[in-house]
A and B are shown apart, each in its own frame.
Chain A
């Protein structure tokens, strides 16, 4: 079946460090890929997305590139801030249903 695997957390970084959160997927077709973020005390919100191979999604300094050859959608940011501390979820959808299949989430803590 379709699934998403994320790197284990928590990830602890100092402010201005480089961030990578790995995400790989298994899918029988061509999924759309997403990163959702959950800030402390807030609801899930879309961070970025990509709908076809080689697309790059970007938002708030975060980027992720849809790599079909490695079935990956790694999240990167060049310089993290304390305000980026949150739980990050990689997810996919298949076909027309739109139902999201999530990875297990990665907690990021950024220290000043």
Chain B
């Protein structure tokens, strides 16, 4: 399996609970991105990590959302006190580099989050 993997594939939670979503990027990819795909908002950028640099959190919709990337590999997206509007498919992507133009991002299958 050389692709980006995400877990769980589906998550159903109750409003107010915290959830953690995991992403395993392609080995050797230094850049990692999180996006959200929802019916009302389409595909939105959330956060990205590049090596040891400070992450770009400019797309996070509220302070209930946070993410970390340990050891430059696996990343976890945490949503605290979930709300129904957080229901969406959360996509992770990785790429070899971010410098230069047109670097391809490889996407994982996503985690479908449903907040009841």
A binding-site residues for B, Cβ under 8 Å: 32, 34, 42-46, 49-52, 89, 91, 93, 96-105
Contact = CB atoms under 8 A, between A and B. Distances in A.
A43 B100 CA distance: 24
Given A32-B101, A49-B102, A51-B102, A98 B43 contact: no
Contact of B91 (A44, A49, A50): A44
A98 B42 contact: no
Contact of B42 (A42, A43, A99, A104): A104
B48 interface: yes
A54 to B, nearest CB: 14
Interface of B: 4, 31, 33, 35, 42-45, 48, 56, 59, 91, 93, 95, 97-110
Contact of B45 (A44, A99, A104): A99
B77 to A, nearest CB: 15
A43 B48 contact: no
A49 B98 contact: no
B109 A102 contact: no
A98 to B, nearest CB: 4
Contacts of A91: 43
A88 to B, nearest CB: 12
A97 B42 contact: no
Nearest to A49: B102
8 contacts: A45-B106, A49-B102, A51-B101, A89-B43, A93-B101, A96-B98, A99-B45, A102-B42
A99 B42 CA distance: 15
A5 B104 CA distance: 21
A97 B102 contact: no
B32 to A, nearest CB: 10
